[in-house]
Structure 1
């Protein structure tokens, strides 16, 4: 600032008559002019510098932003890899469990098939021995196995169990099922009379269960058919929970299905 004032004073005091002064004026003028030009150029010069600094700052910000994005992507990638690896581990373990389960099931099926085949062979042999027993002249086959009486197209067998071995109605059905049969079903008077012959009076036996039971206020056979001749039960009411027994010397009797009695089984006769 002091330098500018001195130059300004030199311009004011200049003399037109002195060539030397003119020279000095020119010099001073030139110097002032140069000084002014420098002064004028300073703000213009500072502008680009500031722009460059701002540009660098923006670049650094952009680089920092890109670096942050890369870090976030890297973290997400690591998390994804960990989740994927955990999923792979879980699926591998499940696959191994399924393979072991498949192996166990295969072994069980093979064992069951072997047992089934053995049982079938044993059952077939048992059937042959029961229906075609060996005698002095070889095997002789019959329609009903030993201990069963044939009538019409069925085989009948009564169980004369002692009192301690007698069963309720459901228990009697279970025993018949083990013999591939069920409690007897009667269709007509001829069969009813025959069933009486299979209901002998034996000490300790009060009756023999047959396949007739009260259901929904009606007497029904185990095959689902209804009793057509109510005289057979002497018009006794069909109260749910009541079942029927047969015994020689008396008519059919209605009793609680929970009572224990002997029973009569029936199954189809073989064609020989």
Structure 2
């Protein structure tokens, strides 16, 4: 009987000891966590704060650059508007970056060019399909800045550049071979009344009198 009691006491003591050891292990684990110590946590915190500050600075820089870009764009556009308004006068039509004046007086090709020059411009140079269509829409029989007076058959513009793309009426230029009144046709007019925008040029004698189209581009504006 005594042995049985002693055995039970031993078992109870063992259970108590195991419970105490378990409790001590839990206390040790809670007291000494497996993660970084206090200095490590502070380091991580500093890194996180620094990264956040860098993000804020980057956002501020982006906003500043965007505002500066917007201001420069607005300033440039305002100057362009002011420049355009300066030349926005009756009789001048704007297309892309240039202004166009259609004269009301009929003159020879040379007289017409001089008239354009006195206006700070020159006879129009047609260097794109879009410009040709714009001029076609004006529906005028007018001088343009194209001639072969210096060398027959070698057409060039008033700025000295050679003709590359042309918009002649069918069977033109013909140098006036069928016309005896004005032999030799070395200057070009836009022929109105045509139904094809890209077939409107005709060569006629430079001494004939027509209205003209002057061209003034922004790169020539003061």
The TM-score with structure 1 as length reference comes to 0.41
The TM-score with structure 2 as length reference comes to 0.49
More helix by share: 1
Larger radius of gyration: 1
Higher relative CO (Cα under 8 Å, sequence separation at least 6) belongs to 2
